[in-house]
């Protein structure tokens, strides 16, 4: 079976419903352009209709058709994105992380400042942790439900902070090329700044 890269993005319920999904959609659209097999999907196990509840959005990127397409969750993610840093204080966002994984957080703080919220077991598996001030770059957090419930998004994909996060994730992990991210994101400048301005701390 071909290797599938799994991305889990943690966001706040309702408020970042679109932005969290956009991170995944921009990444998968970029990977589509590179000819990969992809899947971006929402988590409903988290009961995401509650404002500010911790919710997960997922992406899978693979060289071959994705065989575990219907699994509800990424149990063994390779990359974790966090669009609201406070989430990390209450939950182990890196649960199940694979060896050599990456953690990318939206915050103004330095990467070291947030590592303390990652338990020892998962911290040992991290290859790098990175932070990006996504809200500083793209302050828009659009609350739009048109793309929820399995319908097509009416609003542009990656007009807000989703592009910044997707750019940062691409820069840290190298899963997709910079050009692909820029082509996939509605807000090119935001994606470019995310890619260029991400602060990376390599752990091993």
Partner 1 sequence: MKERYKKYTVDIPEDMKIPYACIVESPKVNGEQPQMLTGGWRIYRPVVDHDKCVLCKSCILACPDATVLLVDGGQKIGFNLDYCKGCGLCTWVCPVNAIDRVPELDFEDGVPFQDALFLLPHVERLYAD
Partner 2 sequence: MAERTGTVKFLTGLGAVATALKMADIDVASSYPIRPYTGAMMMLSQMAARGELDLEFVHGEGEHGQLGIAHGASAAGARAFTGSSGVGVTYAMETYSPISGGRCPVQMLIGNRTLDPPGDFGSEHTDALSTRDQGWLMGWAHTPQEAFDNTLMFYRIGEDARVSLPQMNCQDGYFITHIPAKVVIPSQEEVNKFLPPLNFPDALDPLNPLGHGPQLFPGQGHVLEADRVNAMMGAFPVIDEVVNAFNAQFGTDYAPFVEQYRCEDAEYVLFINGGHAYTAKFAVNHMREKGMKIGLVRPRWIRPWATDVVADILSKFKAVGVVETNNAFGAARQAGILTLEVATSLYQCDKKPVLTAFMGGLGGEVIRLDEFYYMGDVLKKVAAEGKADRTAYWIGFHNV
Interface residues toward partner 1, by CB under 8 A: 12-13, 45-46, 50-54, 75-76, 84-87, 89-92, 95-96, 107, 109, 117, 119
- Footprint of partner 2 on this chain (CB under 8 A)? 32, 39-42, 44, 65, 67-72, 146, 148-152, 154
Question: Are residues 56 and 10 in contact, defined by beta-carbon separation less than 8 angstroms?
Answer: yes
CB atoms within 10 A of CB 149: 8
Q: Which is nearer to partner 1, 94 or 170 (CB)?
A: 94
- Alpha-carbon distance of 127 to 93, in angstroms, equals 15
Q: Among 138, 86, 136, 132, which residue's Cα sits nearest to residue 110?
A: 132
Q: Which is nearer to partner 2, 73 or 122 (CB)?
A: 73
Pick one of partner 1, partner 2, none as the site partner of residue 54 (Cβ within 5 to 8 A by kind): partner 1
- Alpha-carbon distance of 111 to 116, in angstroms, equals 10
The structure tokens listed for 23 are 């991170």
Q: Which is nearer to partner 1, 87 or 171 (CB)?
A: 87
Pick one of partner 1, partner 2, none as the site partner of residue 68 (Cβ within 5 to 8 A by kind): partner 2
């Amino acid at each position: 079976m071909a290797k599938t890269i799994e991305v889990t993005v943690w966001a706040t319920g309702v408020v970042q419903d679109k932005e969290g999904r956009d991170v995944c959609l921009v990444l998968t659209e970029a990977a589509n352009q590179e000819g990969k097999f992809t899947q971006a999907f929402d988590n409903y196990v988290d009961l995401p209709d509650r404002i500010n509840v911790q919710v997960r959005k997922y992406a899978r990127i693979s060289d071959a058709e994705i065989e575990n397409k219907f699994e509800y969750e990424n149990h063994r993610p390779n990359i974790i994105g966090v669009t609201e840093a406070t989430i990390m204080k209450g939950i182990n966002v890196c649960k199940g992380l694979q060896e050599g994984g990456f953690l990318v957080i939206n915050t103004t703080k330095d990467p070291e400042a947030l590592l303390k919220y990652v338990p020892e077991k998962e911290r040992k598996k991290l290859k790098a942790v990175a932070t990006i001030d996504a809200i500083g770059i793209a302050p828009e957090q659009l609350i739009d439900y048109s793309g929820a419930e399995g319908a097509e998004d009416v609003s542009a994909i990656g007009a807000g902070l989703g592009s910044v996060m997707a750019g940062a994730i691409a820069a840290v992990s190298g899963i997709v090329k910079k050009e692909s991210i820029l082509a996939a994101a509605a807000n090119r400048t935001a994606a470019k700044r995310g890619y260029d301005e991400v602060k990376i701390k390599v752990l091993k």
